Every structure is written in C-alpha cells, then in structure tokens.
Structure 1
Amino acid sequence: MQQEIETYMNQIKDEVIAMRRHIHQYPELSNHEKDTSAYIQQKLTEYGIHFETGFATHGVLGIIQGKKPGKTVALRADIDALPIQELNDDTFISKHPNVMHACGHDAHTAMLLGSGYILKQMEQEIQGTVLLVFQPAEEDSPIGGASVMMEDGVFDMYKPDAIFGQHIWPYIPTGAVGVHDSEVMGASDRFKIILEGRGGHASMPHQTSDAVVAAGHLITALQTIVSRNLDPMEASVVTISMIEAGSVPNIIPREVTLQGSIRTYNSEIREKLKERFFQITTQIAEAFGAKAVIEYMDGYPATINTPRWAQLARQSAQKVIGKTATPAYNPSLAGEDFGRFLQKYPGAFVWLGAQIEDKEIQAPLHDANFKLNERALPDGTKLLVQIAIDALNELNGG
C-alpha cells in the first residue's frame, strides 16, 4: 500500500506545490475565505470528490466513501491567512496588500487536497469513510471556525471516530514530525484591561491618580501568578503585549490600556490563572486609586492528543518518512483551534517539520518573512493518507 501511495503521490506532487503557491498568492483573512473556498471546491470537483458547504460560511467538507463499509476518520486543514504585509521576494508572494499566509495554512490546504486525490484513487481499498475538513477562521481567536463548523452540522451526517490534523512547523527540520502523546499546544485566553485614574499636569502628580504608575506595578505583579502561585513544573505564561497611554509628555493620562494573553495546558490551572488575574488586577488598581475595567476572553482550549491516536500517527510517520522521523519535541504554548475538535472527538495533531535549508535565517510563524520548505509537502500529503488508512484499519479491527 505504501508503494501505491508513492505512485499516486508522484502524480500529484507538482500540483500540490502549485496549489500551495496559488493559495499563497491569494490569501484571505478569517471569515472572508470566499475565493479560497471556491478554489477548494473546484479542486474537489476535478478529483471527483463529493463535498458539502455552508459550514462556518466558507468551510468545506469533502467526503470519500470507500467501497467497503467501515468506520469514519476525519482529516482537517485550516484555510485562512493573517493581516500581515509580506516582505519576501518569491515569485508567488501575496497579491493582496496586508494579507499573508504566514502560518502555513496554504500548505495545509494544498496537502489535504493532495491527500484527497490519493485517497480517491484508492477508494476501492478503503474500508470506511474519510472526511476532508477545510476549516475557515482558525486565526479568529477566541471565536475560531472549529466550533462554528460543528454547530453548523459538519459532522451531523458523518461522525468521525477519530480526527487528525497537522501543522507546518518551521522550528524542526524538514523530514521530521513532532508527535506528542498528550499536550501539543496551549489554551490561549486574551484580556484587555483599562485602568481608569485621574489625569493632570505632570508637575502636580499629587493631584492625580496616576494610571501609568498603577500599570507599571500591575505588569510586575501579574508575573507573580506564574512564578509564585503555580507549581514551577507546570508550563504557563502571562504576557502583556500592548500598552496604550497618554498623548503628550507633560500630562499624566487619565487611563492606560493593557492587552495580552494567558496560556497553559491544564484546565484547572487555567481557571486558577484567571482567578488570580482578576484578583491582582482589581487590588493593584484599588491600591493606586484607580479602577480596573477588565475584558477577559476565554480562547481556544489546549490541544491535547488522545494517546492511542498519537501513537498511531507516530507509526504512520515512521512508515512514510523513516524510523528516525519522530524524535521527541517539547509542546508549545501557542494556541490552535484544533483543540476544539479534540474536545469532542478522539484524535491527534502533529507538527510537520518544514525548516528551510538555512535555518539561521528561518523566520518564525506569523512573521512577514516567513517561508517554509516545500520539500515537506509530499511528506505531509502522504502522511495524511497513511494516517487515514492506518486509523481505519485499526478502527475496523484490521
């Protein structure tokens, strides 16, 4: 079967790369993926794959029914881009100002389309059903497209017995796959704090309640949640990433706005972080004669693999790439909407190594200079196919 997959991969390899480049040139932001969705539908039609639409507006569900009855496996790719002006000089850079595929979703979509082509050629041998889930709005945290697709009935007709996804990962070499038995990526909550004080002239601070000073103390105090309230063996982070205050040097501003994120893996620790965040913010504000207005947004849950399916994904990767393809990697606290699928269905999410040849100049995800190694695309395409076949085989008792 692996030889058969390789034969079909050779047929579609150049097209997978071409599809990735086309999608890269025409990126669309979350909830605006109209043309990307139309392109996916066009390709599925060319491949003779039945599909349904209307999930989270631009989501698409491809359906490949094997000629033998059996269980159902879902494969997912996200399709949206980011509000970033691309700074690369490739021949296929984004044609849309301030919109860029800087997180690999163009590759995810192309690889899922390529795997759909291969699985369609092999449908006589497939025992069960494979679902191709093209998800919009993955970057639209804290809402996202996963829960909306499920609310819109993407799995009403075909309920997956296991679901799998993969993400381009530029931090590990091309030819490697990161597979985790449990935690893969973190919960990602967001917050906005407005500290309301009393402004005044910079020469008369005694007449004010200085929100800037309160903000300085608050930034420091919030770091004690992780350093002094949590077990140091538990990975968590509180980040203040935006601060807005004042307009001129000689006026103490009336208010300061702070925004940031809180990330962890454990749901109980997530609640403790949130509780302490509110306590500290409110008390620091009161101590400096200010008022704290807090907007807290529960974001994506942690992405936690099902150990059974993580092990299967690891074995599939070793079949496709080689026995040494799955070294151990630490999980990441970056957020991922796939975690919402894993709350409902068992499955696994893996990282596909896509580091460029000169790793010293590898830009990170969400960077205007982000690039990926296209040599990873055939491996990722074959991996999705192998995972689907192996999972169906196990589900069906093969």
Structure 2
Amino acid sequence: MDTTRRYCEVADLAESTDDLRAIRHHLHQHPELAYEERETAGLVAKKLEEWGYAVTTGVGRTGVVGTLKVGDGPRSIGIRADMDALPILEQTGLPYASRHHGKMHACGHDGHTTMLLGAARHLAQTRNFSGTVHLYFQPAEEHGIDSGALSMIKDGLFERFPCDAVFGLHNHPGAPAGTMLFRRGPLQAAGDNVYITVKGNGGHAARPHLTVDPVVVASSIVMALQTVVARNVEPTQPAVVTVGVLQAGTANNVIPGTARLELSVRSFSAQVRALLKSRITELVQQQAASYGAEVEIDYLMGYPVVINSDRETDFAIAVAQELLGTDRVVPHTDLLMGSEDFAYMLQARPGCFLRLGNGVGADGCMVHNPGYDFNDSNLPVGAAYWARLVERFLAQP
C-alpha cells in the first residue's frame, strides 16, 4: 500500500449518511420486480449524470452502467449492485414500507444500490484514482432463470464496459452489522429448479382401486428424494434437495388426476450437480412407473456456483482490513447454500463476491421474509468500502 496517499475512510461518508438513508428509504417504498426496475433505473441514472458519470441505460433490458474515467491509468474496475425486489407482501410496519402492494425489497437490494450510489458520489467528488471505474446497476437478480447478470453479459457488458476485475456484495443477516465476510474459491451454491407433474387417473375417493392416485405417487417421490443426498452424494460434498411445492386435489372426496411438485436443488461442484440431476430424474420416473403413473419433468439449470478468484479476494480482504480492522473481517467464511447470479460475472472476469453483516438477533431478520429490512448503519460502511476498493485498485501498477 502507498502510505503517502490517503484513501477513503468510513468517516468520509458521515456527511452523506442522511442523504443515503433518504435514497434507500425511497427505493424501499417503491420496489420493482425483475425487469420492471424503470423508476429505480431512472433514479440511478439521474444521480450518476448529476455527478459527472457517462451513463448508459437499457443494458440487459433495464440495467444501468455509470462510467467515470480519471487520469491516464490503464486499469479498469467494475462494481455491481442489484436493483430488483421480490413479490412479497411487506409486514414490517415501517414508516417507509412498500407502497406497491405485494412487492417488497425483502433482500436488501435497495441497500446495495444505495451503497454503490454513495461510493459513486464520493469517487466523483474526490477523483482520487487514475483509471476507469464502471458501476453496474443490475436488474433481475431474483429472476432465477434469464437473470439480469446474464442479460447484461449477453448485451455486451464486458465488451462495452470492460474491467480487469469485478466485485459485488450481498448483505448477510446473522453476522454483526458492518462486518465483512470473504472466502476464496467457491462461496455460494449452484441453484437448479425442478418442476414435476405426476399424471395419474382420478376418481371417487370411495373407489381408489379404480384410480391411479397421484397423491400417493407424489408422496412416495417426496420420501424417495430424501435418499439422494443421504445415499448418493459423497458425504464430504455439500448438497441440498428441497421439495418446496406439493399440490394436488381440491376436494377430500375426489382423487385428482394430477399432482405437482417443485424442487430446489443446490450443489457446489459440476460433478455433484450432474449426479443430482441424473438421480432425481431416474428416481422420479421409476417411482411413478412403479405405481402405474406417468410423469413430466422440467429440470431447469439455474445460477452456477459463485467462485471467487484468489488474487482478487485477497486484495478485497486487505482493503476491508485497512478500512474496518481485522476484528470486523472474516477472511474464510462458511459455504453458503443460497445461489447468486453474480456467478455469471465471475465466470467472465476475475473478481470477488463478499458478504456484509446485516445484524444478529432481532436485527438480523432473514432475507426473503416479510419482516426483513436492510440495516441503514451499513450505508456509509458499504459506500466507503467500494470507494476505497476502487481507489486502491486503480492506484496499483
């Protein structure tokens, strides 16, 4: 590190905290679902233009990229924040709760967007770097399939706005606010979705012998699926198979003709991912056949594994330790079973995805929960971290 040069500190964002909180609360009140983030994108673009960034909208449909070049440094860096909300009815009772019924920032993307805007303003005001910074405000992280990261990449993100490395973060309920968690290599799981329709032969509940009961078939499939991880996956390899939906029938005296199951499948290696697909498909087909039923399986491969590159992760850890001290930085956190479409960006460029503690206990409500809220104390921390990361990265030879 160049000890003669001063880099961004959290205290440098103190005067901006009220403004950042106001932005975050506005975004929280006006959540927009995947590929509907027009008002959010408009706010982001307006702010960036006011601060002197070259702004490109409509990247990957509703994404925004802000570019700021200072000096003649040859290096470039990309920082990503996601913008979309979830189809959840908010139950926080907050004065700035969602005004859009059935839509909610239940994952903290309002905070992610605001922190990057805070860094954007600081970088534009201080210009304490030499090189190019691209700020990627991404839509549709929650989409699951046809995600915003993939859409931006297909729209030429890294050709039009190239970077030597790319960085992103997500808030992390369960860890103290203001702490940062890192991990080299795999961090978050690949996430696949499986949709199963069991086709039986419905009839009267009093005459089950004249039917092929899809409820029984579906129940057998659910139980059999519990053996896939327990008996087919090597015990040292993490994997999860969850049946999140089981639907059948509308009346207790009618055996329905069909049943539907929906699965979430998580893994950390290509080999285990392929094994899970093979075993789940075979098991479902054979269980159905054993009862005389038919089955349709739609197996959708979702986000890949988030894999952080070693060099960029070590650099990101060092910057966090400089900014926060070693006691507020976890260099080797646990694997996380949640998936994240930033994985696509890390397939295209070296970089690091990190986690920012959002609180513990009563302050640490899990994401995707109607009672969740982003912790505003993180706003100056995250903004200062992104600003310092850019300054340090673009000060390197």
Matches within 5 A, 1:86-101: 86-101=90-105
Helix, strand or coil for the counterpart of 2:380? helix
Q: Partner of 1:385 in structure 2?
A: 387
Contact map agreement 1:211 1:253 (CA 8 A) in 2: yes
RMSD: 1.5
Q: How far 1:7 sits from its partner (Å)?
A: 5.9
Offset from partner CA, 1:10-69 (integer Å, 9 cap, x none):
342221111111111111111101100000011112212111112122100000112132
Overall identity of the aligned pairs, in %: 36
Contact map agreement 1:49 1:62 (CA 8 A) in 2: yes
Q: How far 1:71 sits from its partner (Å)?
A: 1.0
Q: Partner of 1:30 in structure 2?
A: 34
**How far apart, in 1, do the equivalents of 2:72 and 2:11 lie?**
22
Return the letter of the residue paired with 1:263.
R
Matches within 5 A, 1:159-174: 159-174=162-177
Matches within 5 A, 1:125-274: 125-274=128-277
Contact map agreement 2:33 2:85 (CA 8 A) in 1: yes
Offset from partner CA, 1:179-207 (integer Å, 9 cap, x none):
01112211111011000011122222221
Q: How far 1:6 sits from its partner (Å)?
A: 4.6
Structure 2 residue ranges without an equivalent (≥5): none
Alignment partner for residue 371 of structure 2, among 369, 372, 377? Answer: 369
Q: Partner of 1:319 in structure 2?
A: 322
Structure 1 residue ranges without an equivalent (≥5): none
Alignment partner for residue 121 of structure 2, among 114, 117, 130? Answer: 117
Return the letter of the residue paired with 1:32.
E
Return the letter of the residue paired with 1:192.
Y
**How far apart, in 1, do the equivalents of 2:154 and 2:77 lie?**
19
Matches within 5 A, 1:56-95: 56-95=60-99
Contact map agreement 2:129 2:390 (CA 8 A) in 1: no
Contact map agreement 2:196 2:297 (CA 8 A) in 1: yes
Number of residues of Structure 1 aligned to a counterpart in Structure 2: 392
Q: How far 1:2 sits from its partner (Å)?
A: 4.8
Matches within 5 A, 1:318-337: 318-327=321-330, 328-337=332-341
Return the letter of the residue paired with 2:87.
P
Alignment partner for residue 338 of structure 1, among 342, 350, 375? Answer: 342
**How far apart, in 2, do the equivalents of 1:206 and 1:38 lie?**
61
Offset from partner CA, 1:89-116 (integer Å, 9 cap, x none):
2211111111110100000000011111
* Deviates most, 305-314 or 107-116: 305-314
**How far apart, in 2, do the equivalents of 1:171 and 1:373 lie?**
12
Contact map agreement 1:245 1:255 (CA 8 A) in 2: yes
**How far apart, in 2, do the equivalents of 1:146 and 1:316 lie?**
25
Q: How far 1:387 sits from its partner (Å)?
A: 1.9
Q: 1:7 to 1:175 in 2, by over 3 A?
A: closer
Offset from partner CA, 1:155-198 (integer Å, 9 cap, x none):
22331110000111112111211101112211111011000011
**How far apart, in 2, do the equivalents of 1:321 and 1:275 lie?**
46
Q: 1:311 to 1:88 in 2, by over 3 A?
A: same
